[in-house]
Amino acid sequence: MRITGLGHAGMFIETRGGNIICDPVLGPSFYGSWFPFPDNRGLDWERLGREADFLYISHRHRDHFDPRLLQKYISKDIEVLLPEYPIDDLEQDIRALGYNNITYAPAGEVIERDELKIMITPLRAPSDGPIGDSSLSVDDGTASILNQNDSHPLDLEKLLAFGKPEAYFTQVSGAIWWPMVYDLPQDAKQTFARLKREAQNKRAMYYIEKVDAPHVFPMAGPPMFLRDDLFDFNGTGRDGDSIFTDQKEFLAHLKEQAPQYDGQLFIPGTVVEMSNGELSVTQSLYTQAEIDHIFDEKWDYLEEQRATRQQELRDEEASRAAVLPPAEMLEALKTWWEPLLKKSRTIRLGVGGPVRMTIGELDLVVDFPKAKVREFAGEDVEFWYTIPADLVSTNIRDHEIDWSNSIFLSMQFTAGRKGKFNEFIYTFFKCLSVDRIEYVENWYQEQTDQTEDAEIGDWVVQRRCPHLRADLTRTGKIDEDGVLTCSMHDWKWDLKTGRCLSTSGHPIRAKKVDEVTDEALRPAV
């Protein structure tokens, strides 16, 4: 088996049963904000497209799904391997490009093509990517790998039932806009960014140790920001106020924390050859001197990239819609969103108040309790956004149903809040279709049945995490103050009160073990 890095989360897997091209992206993505780091334009995309037998798209985020690249390089006859998601948005996108040879991979089932075995493991919670994320397991008899990509699976036993991978490819630098776009003092941004990087490292290490593959390849980020207004947010930030750990930085962390694992650099042109337990890694696109320049003189490299790619940014800006007049924009959003708000009882209750959005000359509120979109009337709000009018006009023109997969990940906006993070707001903004809203509302209702309890240390706690139903007997740790932390996403609860310390809502059921009473009630043996 041979695996070639394509940049970001992309890889080209050559096996005895055919070649799989995974998440190929050239970008830029998210309104010109994200470019793969390092630059991957020097790869032979014509050859890669010509020699691919299967196309795997993990999820719909535009740093994984690049319609322009697919149109230009990937044959319309190729067999497309898609995760089995409850909502068919990704399939519709693929079919709109002219691809009809589509194989849905049922969750946990092995697909065989000659000597090649493939398993796709989908995740389906509202916070999993754009309502869905997935990983890819591959084995051709000579080697086995797990491309976990951006996904954060809860049931690793099912995932690893495919077999223990020899090489593990996983995200270590997640895609998010917190705290960079928020209205915060600079020292607070620096603190929150550091905590976010630490949480991402902790989560990555959790998976690395659970998967326990001997060879580890960090990938799926970070991006390059080449727009002038975002440039200082590259990496950990010019001023330490950003969250994007690079591959070399994480490898140093891995070596310090878990030196038993063989961490390897995986960038565009990295070639990993595997056969019957043997593994070698070479670089086919960049020399060692160039790699040193990219990582050790990063700001110089980024400046060079910015200087040579301005035309791509101008082309993207020219493709945006003309700005709608305020009254017309308000009417378009009312017509689109109010029917969805009426279907969003759980989301409306979860938000609990109006959210202000200043869009160019338009100042509106999304009044979640009343299911209305109206002009701002001067009322007090807990959450507010300032968004460029051309981005909103373009989303209206394109009827973009996922604003996290467009405006929010572009980081071309500012935000503020008085309270804690509220996941229901962002859930609404990435569910701007009837199918998505109905699915998410049903999903939330299904999660309310969490009756099983389990002992964790000196506490009896509901077994399933209120966030995404991880098994807390495996992912939960309780400190001496009675604070439970779920290692999946670093959310915390005060067990004495059941209150979530990370966001609004999501209380947990818990009580301290009463050893005397419990012993008296325990049946005799």
Q: Which two tokens stand for residue 491?
A: 């959310």
Q: Could you tell me if residue 437 is inside a domain?
A: no
Confidence at 525, pLDDT banded by 50, 70, 90? very low
The predicted model scores a pTM of 0.86
**Residue 95 shares a structural domain with residue 179:** yes
Q: Average pLDDT, whole number, for the chain?
A: 92
Query: How many Å apart are CA 360 and CA 325, to the nearest integer?
Result: 9
Q: For the segment 167-207, what is each residue's pLDDT rounded down to a tens digit?
A: 999 999 888 999 999 999 999 999 999 999 999 999 999 99
Q: Is the pLDDT of residue 69 over 80?
A: yes
Q: For the segment 220-269, what is each residue's pLDDT rounded down to a tens digit?
A: 989 999 999 999 999 999 999 999 999 999 999 999 999 999 999 999 99
**Residue 288 shares a structural domain with residue 369:** no
**Residue 504 shares a structural domain with residue 360:** no
Q: Among 223-232, 309-318, 362-371, 417-426, where is mean pLDDT lowest?
A: 417-426
Query: How many Å apart are CA 66 and CA 21, to the nearest integer?
Result: 13
Q: Could you tell me if residue 23 is inside a domain?
A: yes
**Residue 345 shares a structural domain with residue 399:** yes
User: 274 — alpha (psi -120 to 50), left (phi > 0) or beta?
Assistant: beta
**Residue ranges making up the domain that contains 475:** 453-521
What are the b/e assignments for 309-331, b being 16+ CB within 10 Å? beeebeebeeebeebbebeebbe
Q: Which residues pair with residue 215 across a beta bridge?
A: 167, 262
**Residue 76 shares a structural domain with residue 179:** yes
Confidence at 470, pLDDT banded by 50, 70, 90? confident
**Residue 399 shares a structural domain with residue 468:** no
Q: Could you tell me if residue 447 is inside a domain?
A: no
Q: Which two tokens stand for residue 400?
A: 């973009």
**Residue 484 shares a structural domain with residue 416:** no
At 468 the pLDDT is 63
What strands, in cross-sheet order, belong to the sheet with 383-387? Answer: 372-375, 362-367, 354-359, 383-387, 414-417
**For residue 35, what is the domain's CATH number?**
3.60.15.10
Element containing residue 194 per DSSP (H, E): helix 186-211
At 257 the pLDDT is 96
At 353 the pLDDT is 95
Q: For the segment 434-469, what is each residue's pLDDT rounded down to a tens digit?
A: 999 999 998 887 766 556 788 898 899 988 887 766
What are the b/e assignments for 155-191, b being 16+ CB within 10 Å? ebeebbebeebbbbbbbbbbbbbebbbeebeeeebbe
**Residue 131 shares a structural domain with residue 153:** yes
**Residue 37 shares a structural domain with residue 174:** yes
Q: Which two tokens stand for residue 344?
A: 């969003």
Query: How many Å apart are CA 248 and CA 36, to the nearest integer?
Result: 15
In whole angstroms, how large is the CA radius of gyration of the chain?
23
At 522 the pLDDT is 43
Q: How far is CA 12 from CA 54, 134, 271, 334, 483, in A?
A: 10, 17, 9, 44, 43
Q: Is the pLDDT of residue 524 over 60?
A: no
At 450 the pLDDT is 59
Q: For the segment 327-382, what is each residue's pLDDT rounded down to a tens digit?
A: 999 999 999 999 999 999 999 999 999 999 999 999 999 999 999 999 999 999 99
Q: Which two tokens stand for residue 498?
A: 């059941």
Confidence at 518, pLDDT banded by 50, 70, 90? very low
Query: How many Å apart are CA 408 and CA 385, to the nearest integer?
Result: 10
Q: What is the mean pLDDT of residues 208-223?
A: 95
Q: What is the mean pLDDT of residues 477-490?
A: 85
DSSP of 273-312, one letter per residue? EEETTEEEEEESSS-HHHHHHHHHTHHHHHHHHHHH-HHH
At 519 the pLDDT is 42
Which of 432, 463, 498 finishes a domain? 432
Q: Could you tell me if residue 198 is inside a domain?
A: yes
State the angle between helix axes of 186-211 and 247-257 in degrees (0 to 180), rounded to the nearest 10.
60
* Residue where the block lists tokens 């909103």: 392
**Residue 95 shares a structural domain with residue 223:** yes
Q: How far is CA 321 from CA 38, 312, 359, 390, 414, in A?
A: 30, 17, 14, 6, 21
Where helices occur in 161-185 by DSSP H, the ranges are none
Confidence at 476, pLDDT banded by 50, 70, 90? confident
Q: Is the pLDDT of residue 165 over 70?
A: yes
Q: Could you tell me if residue 321 is inside a domain?
A: no
Q: For the segment 2-23, what is each residue's pLDDT rounded down to a tens digit?
A: 999 999 999 999 999 999 999 9
At 154 the pLDDT is 79
Which of 370, 402, 432 finishes a domain? 432
**For residue 502, what is the domain's CATH number?**
2.102.10.10
At 189 the pLDDT is 96
At 514 the pLDDT is 66
Which of 278, 313, 348 finishes a domain? 313
Strands (E) across 127-276 are located at 133-139, 144-149, 167-171, 215-219, 223-225, 262-263, 270-275
Q: Is the pLDDT of residue 520 over 50?
A: no
Q: Could you tell me if residue 444 is inside a domain?
A: no
Q: Could you tell me if residue 439 is inside a domain?
A: no
Q: Is the pLDDT of residue 41 over 90?
A: yes
**For residue 420, what is the domain's CATH number?**
3.30.1050.10
**Residue 47 shares a structural domain with residue 181:** yes
Q: Could you tell me if residue 268 is inside a domain?
A: yes
Confidence at 301, pLDDT banded by 50, 70, 90? very high
- Measuring CA to CA, which residue among 331, 337, 367 is closest to residue 352? 367
**Higher-confidence position of 150 and 467:** 150
Long-range CB pairs of 67-74 (<8 Å, 24+ gap) are 67/93, 67/97, 68/26, 69/24, 69/25, 69/26, 69/45, 70/24, 70/97, 70/99, 71/97, 71/98, 72/45, 73/24, 73/45, 73/46, 73/48, 73/49, 74/21, 74/24, 74/49
Confidence at 488, pLDDT banded by 50, 70, 90? low
**Residue 105 shares a structural domain with residue 219:** yes
Q: How many domains does the chain have?
A: 3
